[in-house]
Amino acid sequence: MPIVVNLDVMMARRKMSLNELSEKVDLTLANLSILKTGKAKAIRFSTLEAICKVLECQPGDILEFVGNKQ
Residues in the chain: 70
Question: Distance of CA 61 to CAs 49, 51, 67, 70, Å?
Answer: 12, 11, 16, 24
Percent of residues, the chain, with pLDDT higher than 90: 90
Homologous superfamily (CATH) for 3-57: lambda repressor-like DNA-binding domains (1.10.260.40)
pTM summary value: 0.89
pLDDT tens track for 44-68? 999 999 999 999 999 999 999 998 7
